Structure 1
Amino acid sequence: MLLLRGPRRLRPPAPRAPGRGASRPLPPPPQVLCVKLSGRLKCYQAHFYSTVAPPDEVTVSYRHGLPLITLTLPSRNERCQFVVKPMLSTVGSFLQDIQNEDKGIKNAAVFTTDGTEIATSTLMGFLLMNDFKLVINKITYNVQCPKKEKLSSEHTTDLEDMKSLVHRLFTALHLEEFQKKREHHLLEEIDHLKGQLQPLEQMKAKIEARSAAKTSGILWAGLALLSVQGGALAWLTWWVYSWDIMEPVTYFITFGNSMVFFAYFLVTRQDYTYSAIKRRHFLHFFYKKSKQQHFDVVQYNKLKEDLAKANESLSRLRRSLYLRTQVEELNEKN
């Protein structure tokens, strides 16, 4: 507090004798200001206000044009920042980075504000356009994304074109590296599938051998029955009865066989051919033996399909690498 005291009275100077300097006016008397501090100093304390986010809050900020997501790791109880590349990073890669940073995170997912789960293939640039929910170990964090100023349609179109151009340039520059990584990944996948198929292939070979043996036995038994039937008809025709008696018998036998063939078609919806009968009996014995040997046919078929797809992808990738090499050689020659 400032106090102002009144003017201090000073003695006027003695009058001078009249002369040259008598006509000069005298200066006004000076005033002295005295400053005094009143009150207790300890009562005047400064108050500091913090703008730091709470330790359990997930925040999104921008630094050097890139989104910066800050969250608390549950195991170490420490704040950690993750830099996100909007056009390259996906929700799945972001969640994987969180789990790699803290091994105590068992599950993590991202949902919209209305509770709809967001796919892991979604780009982070689209995710950061709106608010979302981050679930880590069954704990939900409401994340508020800073709103950007709306740009004009013309400026937005130019910006999107620039982003697309940068993305294409990045893809072109890193295409060879990506193809090599893809080839290495496909080779590892093929080796893994072959390792899973090896015991199943051995079991399948044994079941096929037994099923083929039983099918062949049934076919030979059918040939034996037809031979016995022909021999019996010949014996009855030439040694017991005459042809006049056996002719209607053979006619009804042939008609009965035709009825059996037609009934086979109605039941199986297949023509009565020897190859179809052999295949049908083989599959019957194969599935019967598979159940007995606990051979999973569905898993075996799925592994075979995955192996075929992996081999096809590898052949296409190597074909593209070969064509790229040929083009580079031609360019060097030219």
Structure 2
Amino acid sequence: MRILVSGAGVAGPVLAYWLTRHGFSVTVVERAPTPRKTGGHAVDLFRPAMNISEKMGVLPRVEERATGTNRMTVHQEGARRPVRVDLSKIFSATSDRHVEIMRDDLSEIYYDAARDDVEYLFGDSITAISPDGGVRFENAAPRRFDLVVGADGLHSTVRRLVFGDESRFSAFIGAHLAVLTLPNVSALDGELLIHVGVGRTAGMYGARHLADARVLFLFRSERELDHHRDVPRQKELLRGAFDDLIPTSRLAVRGLAQGARLISTLPAGPSRALLRLTTKSARLHNSMTVDDYSPSPTASRGRVGLAGDPGGGLGAE
């Protein structure tokens, strides 16, 4: 039985691993030209995901790449003193198994787990799916599969082709999220720095095996993006929400404000590599609209099914 999986992020490689272990022939198609190395931001794995990783034999690698973040310092606008939180206590109260890991590290680990048993088509994307399993690609020759699975993110191409336009499943709830990479000038070691204001939050954290850090910006906005890849508009909204962060933030000497300052240096024009704009020492590699994604009426139709984010849920992409 031949199965095509669209998306080589997290859900796609995991699904491909288990399908091959049950005797299926699996092909994974991924729009990116190579396995993703965009940096991404941290994700938390709890008992179910830890158990699956253990069964796949990759848990030691997952734990080795853990960020090591175990405490949080929160600076609130107008407050005289920060609040310090022991994150290890919060996580231990939530689950007896937990690890935080950068998304690109997790994707790489899952990809490596089955790369020798799975056919990967990088730099390509599905353009059409017929009821009998016929699939057309942007670059590869047409092929036929017994089953097609869309594991290609919240803005799923497979879902759009089979279930309809994305607008049927999402609604803007008034928030945006952006993530930048910059050198770990604050020498963060297991600490998450947070700046909280009305309608906006900024944070900065690192990982013990990385030389750089992530700066994230979450903010309310009534202005919606016309398209999730509208890079100039992303930067415009980001500047407008955080232009005044530097004089009001107590984090200026610790590096978070440096990230805010670098926002103003981001060129207004389009980037050659969308969502991965390099400007001096900072890189805007994720800029997202937070939407409420309603599950599809059904997770499958004919020979096509959905896995991971395309199936619904609250998230940002």
Q: TM-score range by the shorter chain?
A: under 0.3
Decide which structure has the larger Cα Rg and report it.
Answer: 1
* Structure of higher RCO (CA pairs closer than 8 Å, 6+ residues apart): 2
* TM-score using structure 1 length: 0.19
Larger strand proportion of the pair: 2
